Structure formats: C-alpha cells, structure tokens
A and B are shown apart, each in its own frame.
Chain A
Amino acid sequence: RKEVEQDPGPFNVPEGATVAFNCTYSNSASQSFFWYRQDCRKEPKLLMSVYSSGNEDGRFTAQLNRASQYISLLIRDSKLSDSATYLCVVNFVAGGTSYGKLTFGQGTILTVHP
C-alpha cells in the first residue's frame, strides 16, 4: 500500500464548478499535511497547509480527518487557471521527531474547461 494515495483523475470540470479531491495516508504518526500545486512541466509549489481544524484560503478549503487518515481539498468557483496537478503531501514522524521529510502522493489532475 502506498503511504499517500490520491485518485489520479483526471477531473474535467466546467468553469464555476466545485470540485473536491481526497487523499489518504497510511502512517498514523503523520504530523503535517499540505496540498501542493504543480503546473505542467513545472516545479511543485505549496498551495496550502492543512490544519486539524480545517482551513480556508479564498476559494480553497482544506480538511483533515486524523481518525480516518484522510485529507481533502475543495475548490469552489473553479477558474481556467486552476487547471493543474494537485499533490497531497504528508510529513511523517519518526522516533518522536519530525525530520522534515515529505512524502508526496502521485497527484490528481484537474482540467477546468470553458
């Protein structure tokens, strides 16, 4: 089983749609959670961190469910510019210390069309 699993998609949605991505992780000792965005042939960039209480940044909402080991990303009012690959990222803890190593899911492809 992969340590971080995502539905690879692709998700094809019209402008203005709401779309949700899910991600599961296998290590219950995981400490930190993130969503990164990667445009085609470009480097990944941090989109947002995911906090236990859930957090929102404009049209983007991230949720964490530690009991189910599940992370989600909701995008409202999709724009053409949201087309990208969204990477679920987890920081695992070893020996009680976070080493700052990130484990990446394989990514979910989103295409927003006119």
Chain B
Amino acid sequence: DADVTQTPRNRITKTGKRIMLECSQTKGHDRMYWYRQDPGLGLQLIYYSFDVKDINKGEISDGYSVSRQAQAKFSLSLESAIPNQTALYFCATSGSGGPSYNEQFFGPGTRLTVL
C-alpha cells in the first residue's frame, strides 16, 4: 500500500463549486504539505503544517484553505473553484528530525480541472 494517498485522483468540476482534496499518510510524519504544479512553473507551495495545531500559508494560498484533522490527514479545499485553479495537486510529508528530515514524500497527485 502507498504511504501517501490522495483522493480523488482526477476531478472535473465547474466554476464556483466547492472542492475538497484529501491526503492521508501512514509514514507517521508530523509535517504535511500541499503543492500545485503547472506546466513550466514547477511546484508551488500552497499550505503546510508541521503538526496538528499548526497551519501556515505558502506562496500561493489565496483561494485555498486547509484542515489538519489528525496527524495522518491533511485536506485542501477550494471554496469557490475558478478555471485558473486547474492544475496537478500534490500532497507531501516529511519527518521532523534526523538527518533526512528534509526529504519529502509525495502522494500520486490529483488532477483537477475547473471548467
């Protein structure tokens, strides 16, 4: 079984709809992240969380919100989706100590299309 899972894997929705993307991990990591990837722009950090009570904005948080329901779960919401939020979304996790704490492990991604 995958260590970091994302649901749904693909979603097509309409402008103005509320969308939630879910992420779960079994790695026991404290830190979780949401990124979006657009062609030619690389990965951009949306939000990150270093533990259950910690939520931080990333580079491009406008139009998004997150919830860290438990250590293993981190969800991303688009309150009112717009077409320029069409992208590939990745969840990632990392540990908080030890020599490899900077390594991030990614989920398989969610391809979101907003019409």
Contact = CB atoms under 8 A, between A and B. Distances in A.
Interface of A: 4, 8, 32, 34, 41-46, 49, 87, 91, 98-107
B74 interface: no
B65 interface: no
Contacts of B35: 104
Interface string B72-115: 00000000000000001010001010000111101111000000
Interface of B: 31, 35, 40-43, 45, 48, 50, 58, 88, 90, 94, 96, 101-104, 106-109
B31 to A, nearest CB: 6
A87 B42 contact: yes
A105 B45 CA distance: 12
Given A8-B40, A105-B42, A106-B42, A100 B50 contact: yes
A107 B42 contact: yes
Nearest to B35: A104
A52 to B, nearest CB: 15
A46 B90 CA distance: 15
A49 B101 CA distance: 12
Contact of B48 (A42, A101, A104, A106): A101
Contacts of B42: 4, 87, 104-107
Contacts of A102: 45, 102, 104
B102 A43 contact: no
A20 B48 CA distance: 32
Contact of A100 (B40, B58, B88, B102): B102
Contacts of B106: 43-45
A41 B9 CA distance: 11
Contact of A43 (B94, B96, B108): B108
